[in-house]
Amino acid sequence: MCVVPFLGVLLYVGFVLIPFALRMPLRLEDFAVTARVEAPQAVVALEGEIIRRFKKGVEIAEKEGISLVFIPCVLLEDNREYLEDVSASNPPFSIVIGAEGSASTYEDARITKSFLSERGLSKILIVTDWYHAWRTLLVFERVLGKEVEIGLELSSVPPTDDTVRWYGVLWKERVKALAFHLSPFLYRLWEEDSP
């Protein structure tokens, strides 16, 4: 009786989890993925707690003539000050801030999907840090699906010194990516066990 679910789990691990784990980045520079998109309609700056992502998004919008910068979550204090400075300079693009309550890359992707569908946009350029890029692309591709073309630009580059301290961050990124990858399977298991 107990053999069938066990075999199902083994098959899942063998056919789904292991290939995913083999695709995970191993070196620092492997996390720094980029993707190009022709003529993006908006820059999506994954602000988080890091102002350089917002600054890079504004820089790209100015340089490439993109008319919209979208930030999925509410700005922190430093970024609010920067927003005021940018807005005072009367830029040739608009900056739109998303909803409150975004605390994860997945939530950022969901908020972005809603924003894009409201505006009828289908090409975006996401700005994030090098260590966050691989997981960001994984999450946004799944949430946005094939309807949206995604480009990815880095607001920072992998370090060339003191790499040891980054391995903790990178393991956290791997665990978060694995949890995201397994979430549909775990959710189905949870639903089956619920009354």
Residue 48 lies in a domain: yes
Residue 3 lies in a domain: no
DSSP 8-state code for residue 76: P
Residue 121 lies in a domain: yes
Asked if residues 122 and 116 have their Cβ atoms less than 8 Å apart, the reply is: yes
Residue 109 lies in a domain: yes
pLDDT digits (tens, 9 = 90+) for 37-69: 899 999 998 876 677 888 888 889 989 898 888
Would you call 48 helix, strand, or coil by DSSP?
coil
Residue 165 lies in a domain: no
Which string of DSSP letters, residue by residue, matches 96-160? EE--TT--SHHHHHHHHHHHHHHHT--EEEEEE-HHHHHHHHHHHHHHHGGGSEEEEEESS---S
Residue 82 lies in a domain: yes
> Per the structure, how many domains does the chain have?
1
Strand order in the sheet with 42-45: 94-97, 68-71, 42-45, 123-128, 149-154
Asked if residues 60 and 91 have their Cβ atoms less than 8 Å apart, the reply is: no
Mean pLDDT of 165-185: 74
Determine the pLDDT at residue 6.
Answer: 63
Residue 166 lies in a domain: no
What residues contact 76, with CB distance under 8 A and at least 6 apart? 47, 49
Q: Which domain holds residue 64?
A: 39-157+172-193
CATH of the domain at 129: 3.40.50
Residue 11 lies in a domain: no
**Cα-atom radius of gyration of the chain, to the nearest Å?**
19
Indicate whether this model's pTM tops 0.85. Answer: no
